[in-house]
Structure 1
Amino acid sequence: MDPSSGLIRVGGRLRRTAGIEDSILHPLVLDPNHPITGLIIHHYDDQLHHPGSERLFGEIRRYYWILRGREAVRRFQRNCPECQRWRAQPSIPKMSDLPAARLQLYKPAFYSCGMDCFGPLLVKIGRRTEKRWGILFKCLTTRAVHLDLLPSMSTDSFLMALRRFVARRGTPAEIWSDRGTNFRGGERELREAYAALASDIQGHLARQRIHFRFNPPSAPHFGGVWEREVRSVKSALYTVLSAQSVPEEVLMTVLLEVEAILNSKPLGYVSSDVADADPITPNSLLMGRPDGSLPQVIYPESEMLSRRHWRHSQVLADRFWSRFIRDYLPSLQTRQKWQESPPNLKEQTFVMIVDPQLPRSLWPVGQVIKTHQSSDGHIRSADVLIKGQVYT
């Protein structure tokens, strides 16, 4: 106890130190929960321009001995808006359940699919080079892949690629994608063309209508299924072509060969025991064999539904789905990351928008005006008001 002021000071082992002020040798003892302590921490935090907790704690301890000081400093910085502006991380909700599009069992391949574009890819035409883009369609259930080449990123090029996809793979029930201008333009043109048809023709074509579903902007993890496949395609193309430009015919051939490789990837765990059955692949459903380079499997008559050969394909499809449900589907049960459930984002909250193209000090700050709740009760997207503009 300091008799002159009535304040409690630290005794300690440094009383014989010469040349140092007594206020530093014997700092004041402070209660971590007292309002004066909070004001002192606030003063030093502003004076040091919001440093790390250890730097701030070390500076305060030169004059004040706060009981459980590290905890008090960290608690203050967790609630300091300016500290959070520089150090806070995005609050990621718990990984959601698999959507219905990922679980379309006993449906044809590409019944529900996602799509994305990648590139540009350089092709050689005579002595000049031109840009081409690839487009990927990914079956969300069977993991099958369809690749094609686009001469441009226009709406017309996308619609022509979609027509080729439908001719080769059949009409999908729904297509998921990001909000690319070519995808949005293609969906608008198809919707307007459908609305212009006569009512009786609309009734006949209603079952063949494709439902386009777009993910929120700047949310590539909503399409992680096909985004990861784009990475696989790029890795294979870089391995084969490196940085060289090739004729368009060669590039198209390589793309189709990459498609065959991706459709030969096994689904689920691959056993090292030769006695176990071979794993299923997307090609097992697409062409009746695990790998396109292997000969067609011939099944004995005892394993056929009947002697009618038209039922052979049904046997192969039934075998694929039984193995799919038994071996691969249980592996989708676990959540690989985002396993915790932070508090949901609330309306009227002020948030900072992460922009990788800008330094953190220039990231825009806005107010949440509307939240979008998913079926599991978590908030996974929101409308944010920034300088008079609303962004999702």
Structure 2
Amino acid sequence: MADLPPARLRPFKPAFFSTGMDCSGPFQVKVGRRTEKRWGIIFKCLTTRGVHLDLLNTIDADSFLMALRRFIARRGTPAELYSDQGTNFRGGERGLREAFAALSPDLQLQLGKQKISFHFNPPAAPHFGGVWEREIRSVKVALYTTVGAQSVPEEVLSLNDPDPVTPNVLLMGRPDGSLPQIVYPETDLLSRRHWRHSQILANHFWSSFLRNYLPSLQTRQKWHAMKTDLIKGTVVMLDPQLPRAMWPVGHVTKGHPSADGHVRSADVQINDRTYTRPVARLVALPALPMEPHIEPCMHSHTHR
């Protein structure tokens, strides 16, 4: 079992500094006398597990970028976003990259510090994003319990309440996540300046977070034995979802090691196509034995 990824270990950073995101739905909503589809999008802080929910009118890149702008306006600009290979996420990342490249060099220099780093999980690997995938399940259960299968007005699914006082605000010490965080010495704990006092209390919280909570996340409950990493040329079979006679078999052309050096996903060539899949979806096959090379022999005449 791998160590926790660095995105899960961002203490003393603003909430949503490292964020995972995904979409769910569609949901049926009432618009006048007709019904339309809406999708939900979740942004989850990978360190504090804070959750931000929003609605999408469509499942394309433009709708995602508008939701991202609303998220940034309320939670601050994240440094890194993690998601699956959704076409809306891919298209949004490509649109932002092209828009940044079209800026003048001066603007690029000024805005370069606010660039968001996108990280995409391999295809067919939902377990790479288990932190936010599990949260989507919780949201769906809550929605279906309260709303059920009925169509509701769009306002019912929209979050129109003003920002309440949440653990997120208490952790950051401010409602705006884009403001810089200042660390004060503990000698100011008894200061009459309450704003410094609250910041020191937040630092105490992070110390407790590192000492008491993080060790519980690193408990390895399974996968204790070390496995051999896939190497180039290994013959593998993609996790069969087809009839037995149609199982796809190919060979590994490239491995993608993670931060701990172990290969967690690989490129597999099958005929003239290359697929990127996690190793959990690949079945390594034993190497075929080489046929013995038989030297031709001259038949001699036997004498009786």
- The bucket for the TM-score relative to the shorter chain is 0.7 to 0.9
Aligned-pair CA distance for 1:379 = 1.3
Match for 2:104 among 187, 194, 198? 198
Q: If you compute each CA radius of gyration, which structure gives the higher value, 1 or 2?
A: 1
Sort the Cα spacing of 1:239 and 1:286 in 2 relative to 1 into closer, same or farther, 3 A: farther
Sort the Cα spacing of 1:124 and 1:305 in 2 relative to 1 into closer, same or farther, 3 A: farther
Q: Whole-Å Cα distance in 1 between the matches of residues 258 and 48 of structure 2? A: 25
Contact 1:179 1:216 in 2 (8 A): yes
Sort the Cα spacing of 1:316 and 1:152 in 2 relative to 1 into closer, same or farther, 3 A: farther
Partner of 1:387: 271
Match for 1:343 among 228, 241, 250? 228
Q: Whole-Å Cα distance in 2 between the matches of residues 136 and 305 of structure 1? A: 40
Sort the Cα spacing of 1:287 and 1:127 in 2 relative to 1 into closer, same or farther, 3 A: farther
Partner of 1:118: 24
Aligned-pair CA distance for 1:349 = 1.8
- Where 1:352 maps in the other structure, the secondary structure is strand
Partner of 1:373: 257
Aligned-pair CA distance for 1:251 = 1.2
Match for 1:147 among 53, 57, 64? 53
Contact 1:172 1:210 in 2 (8 A): yes
Give 1:335's aligned amino acid.
R
Sort the Cα spacing of 1:137 and 1:339 in 2 relative to 1 into closer, same or farther, 3 A: same
With a CA cutoff of 8 Å and minimum separation of 6, indicate the structure with the bigger relative contact order.
2
Identity across aligned pairs (percent)? 65
Aligned-pair CA distance for 1:312 = 4.9
Aligned-pair CA distance for 1:284 = 4.2
Sort the Cα spacing of 1:228 and 1:189 in 2 relative to 1 into closer, same or farther, 3 A: same
Sort the Cα spacing of 1:335 and 1:166 in 2 relative to 1 into closer, same or farther, 3 A: same
The reply to whether residue 172 of structure 1 matches residue 87 of structure 2 is no
Contact 2:172 2:202 in 1 (8 A): no
Partner of 1:100: 6
Q: Whole-Å Cα distance in 2 between the matches of residues 105 and 136 of structure 1? A: 22
The reply to whether residue 285 of structure 1 matches residue 171 of structure 2 is yes
Range moving further from structure 2, 239-248 or 370-379:
370-379
- Where 1:207 maps in the other structure, the secondary structure is helix
Q: Whole-Å Cα distance in 2 between the matches of residues 146 and 187 of structure 1? A: 20
Q: Whole-Å Cα distance in 1 between the matches of residues 99 and 143 of structure 2? A: 37
The reply to whether residue 354 of structure 1 matches residue 257 of structure 2 is no
* 1:231-380 → structure 2 map (5 Å cutoff): 231-253=137-159, 284-285=170-171, 306-356=191-241, 358-380=242-264
Q: Could you say which structure has the higher helix fraction?
A: 1
Q: Whole-Å Cα distance in 1 between the matches of residues 226 and 245 of structure 2? A: 28
Q: Whole-Å Cα distance in 2 between the matches of residues 284 and 361 of structure 1? A: 58
Deviations 1:42-93 (A, max 9, x none): xxxxxxxxxxxxxxxxxxxxxxxxxxxxxxxxxxxxxxxxxxxxxxxxxxxx
- Where 1:342 maps in the other structure, the secondary structure is coil
Sort the Cα spacing of 1:239 and 1:316 in 2 relative to 1 into closer, same or farther, 3 A: farther
Please give the TM-score of this superposition, normalised by the length of structure 2: 0.80
Q: Whole-Å Cα distance in 1 between the matches of residues 59 and 10 of structure 2? A: 30
Give 1:351's aligned amino acid.
V
Q: Whole-Å Cα distance in 2 between the matches of residues 359 and 315 of structure 1? A: 61
Q: Whole-Å Cα distance in 2 between the matches of residues 309 and 172 of structure 1? A: 28
Please give the TM-score of this superposition, normalised by the length of structure 1: 0.63
Deviations 1:122-178 (A, max 9, x none): 111122211100111111111111110000001110000000000000001110111
- Where 2:21 maps in the other structure, the secondary structure is strand
Aligned-pair CA distance for 1:343 = 1.7
Contact 1:284 1:320 in 2 (8 A): no
Q: Give the total of aligned pairs.
A: 264
Q: Whole-Å Cα distance in 2 between the matches of residues 339 and 176 of structure 1? A: 27
- Where 2:152 maps in the other structure, the secondary structure is coil
Q: Whole-Å Cα distance in 2 between the matches of residues 204 and 227 of structure 1? A: 35
Aligned-pair CA distance for 1:344 = 1.5
Moved over 4 A (4+): 281-284, 302-305
Partner of 2:129: 223
